[in-house]
Chains A and B, each alone.
Chain A
Amino acid sequence: MRRSWQGGRGPCRERKRSRVITFDDVTKRYPDGTVAVDHLSLEAPTGEITVFVGPSGCGKTTSLRMINRMIDASEGKILLDGEPVQGIDPPTLRRGIGYVIQQAGLFPHRKIVDNIATVPYLLGWDKKKARTRAMELLERVGLDPVMGERYPFQLSGGQQQRVGVARALAADPPVLLMDEPFSAVDPIVRTSLQDELLRLQSELNKTIVFVTHDIDEAIKLGDRVAVLRVGGKLAQLAAPKTLLSEPADDFVREFLGHDRGIRRLQFISTEGLRLRTDLTVPEGFSGPTDEPWLLVVTPDDRPVGWISRERPDEVEQYGTFVLGRDSMRSALDAALLSPSGCAVAVDEAGKVVGAATREALDEALAEAADG
């Protein structure tokens, strides 16, 4: 993890860190009578990621864009820490809210560093300070500082999207709006961008509203997920875990998909999992044993592989999970990867702490289903 936390606070240290966003019975009706958002009431709490998810036409983007007044609500109020946004001059409002969109929307005629410094420039920071801040953010979103002097067309889609996030963070706004920011990049890049966002959020604790049509992304990123249905009605607002275990109705159930049971596993902790510590043997072990499978480890407790009673010379593959940190989903995955059917539990440093057998995993699952 990057150690830029200390220096990254920048000049806005004394400003209030985060704000709560409240939708109070908000409706958006277009002149032709279409209702995009229908009596929406919800709260996006301070320092959390609230995800709006739903099929196209559910008004999720419209809802997001009403927060920074890119679209104005027809009825109802949107409050920022209790203050109605409708009463704030839009440009002033927007300069205090970070905004990230699908294609990043970088200005092609400006170098990356100046793109990131856009809002600081608007706020009248001096050029040097703004650029220093921009370079700092560039590193923080995981880009090489030499990128700062490039133009947007010289960057890949994923890199541009990182710059988009950095640009939104430049003036250290307490609120971040993200409109399908990762949907235009390939799955591998998307995963790394999502991980990066979670890492950043663990440092920054912004109030984030995130729009996506991808339920997996919603579950991965959201502290709370608002599922919207076509016509702009809120179907359910809940933590991802609750959403998966107790979908409010058929629409939510169908939207979550058929494998929501499997997905639930990622919210079940591996902490307290019963482990066997008597299965590990040193390299070169050839003694008699009653166990069908034994785990070979190095002298400093790194896993080498499984050997079977029948063929002790062949080392078979294994799968690991970090005990306590990884979910049951990772543990099961690790178990399925090895012919022994056991998952290797390691600590944060990668040292073997034990093996979870099928029976142990079964027990944990049964417990989770009851609770």
Chain B
Amino acid sequence: MNWLLEFFGKAENWSGSGGIPMRLLEHLEFSVMALALAVVIAIPLGLLIGHTGKGGLGVVVTANLARALPTLGLLVLFVLLLGTASILPVIIPLVLLAIPPILVNTFEGIRGVDPELRDAAYGMGLRGGQVLGRVLVPVALPLILLGLRLSAIQVVATTTIAAYTGLGGLGRFVIDGFSTQDYASVVGGSVLIVLFALVVQVLFTVVRWVTVSPGVSQRVKTR
């Protein structure tokens, strides 16, 4: 508790390039950038594979392998190979780790839609794209959002670890503090990151609540 007061009470922690607002912004920036890139790659691919039904096995196998990849190892490897001149060596592994959950859940979500529904949609004269956009995606949305949430959790955690390789973000308080035995910084930073992760979690709950049809989540009560 004292450490928390010390950390949050220190004026210099609230300003400058090493201050809390700046670090928070950095953390947000890296996370959003990585997640956005992963979304741009994984969602269209997942929709395509799920809709056409081709290449599904490859996706699942790759995704399971990806889960086994140690994030810290991947970060270190890319930084050693590509240097630290740009943030690329950090963004690449972040994106690589963020893709599988989105890809797999999008694919599984689309593929898992009741075949009767697909049949009915085509039977009423919807075209391929309309079937995907008007029927499959809304019905698969809970799973697609689950994939996004798992990815976001992964990205926030990995961004924290990326501070080890010199990247900014909230992880710096923790890792720098740990090496200089500044426990106020370690504890304060840890609490900040935990809060950040919780906000992300809440955000996704809200998004889910707003975007998923009550008919799919079966949220409304009869009468």
**Residues of chain A at the chain B interface (Cβ within 8 Å):** 68, 70, 90-96, 99, 101-111, 118-119, 122, 150-154, 167, 177
Contacts and interface: CB of A to CB of B under 8 A. Distances in A.
A94 B123 CA distance: 6
7 nearest CB pairs, A to B: A105-B120, A151-B215, A95-B125, A109-B213, A94-B125, A99-B123, A109-B138
Contact of B124 (A99, A108, A154): A99
A119 B130 CA distance: 12
B123 A101 contact: yes
Given A108-B139, A151-B215, A122 B119 contact: no
Interface in B178-223: 213-216, 218, 220, 222
A91 B214 CA distance: 29
A109 B139 contact: yes
Contacts of B125: 90-96, 119, 122
B72 interface: no
Contact of B122 (A70, A109, A151): A70
A60 to B, nearest CB: 16
Nearest to A154: B222
B32 interface: no
Nearest to B135: A107
A13 B124 CA distance: 21
B215 A122 contact: no
Given A94-B122, A122-B124, A105 B116 contact: yes
Contacts of A106: 120
B216 A118 contact: no
A248 B126 CA distance: 41
Contacts of B127: 91
B35 to A, nearest CB: 25
B117 interface: yes
A94 B218 CA distance: 30
Contacts of A107: 117, 120-121, 135, 138-139, 215
B198 to A, nearest CB: 29
Interface in B94-130: 114, 116-117, 119-127, 130
B125 to A, nearest CB: 4
A78 B130 CA distance: 27
A150 B135 contact: no
Nearest to A102: B116
Contacts of A91: 125-127
Contacts of A101: 116, 119-120, 123
Contact of A119 (B117, B124, B139, B218): B124
Nearest to B212: A109
Contacts of A99: 120, 123-124
Contacts of A150: 220, 222
Contacts of B121: 105, 107
Given A94-B125, A122-B125, 12 more contacts: A96-B125, A99-B120, A99-B124, A105-B114, A105-B121, A108-B215, A108-B216, A109-B141, A110-B215, A151-B213, A151-B215, A153-B215
A92 B127 CA distance: 9
B119 A108 contact: no
B215 A152 contact: yes
Interface in B153-191: none
B213 A108 contact: yes
B119 A70 contact: yes
Contact of B215 (A68, A70, A109): A109
Contacts of A119: 124-125
A114 to B, nearest CB: 10
12 contacts: A70-B123, A92-B125, A99-B120, A99-B124, A101-B120, A105-B121, A106-B120, A109-B135, A110-B213, A119-B124, A151-B214, A151-B220
A152 B141 CA distance: 17
A140 to B, nearest CB: 19
Contacts of B139: 107-109
Nearest to B219: A151
A229 B135 CA distance: 36
Nearest to B127: A91
Contacts of B215: 107-111, 151-153
A119 B122 CA distance: 11
A264 B216 CA distance: 47
B215 to A, nearest CB: 3
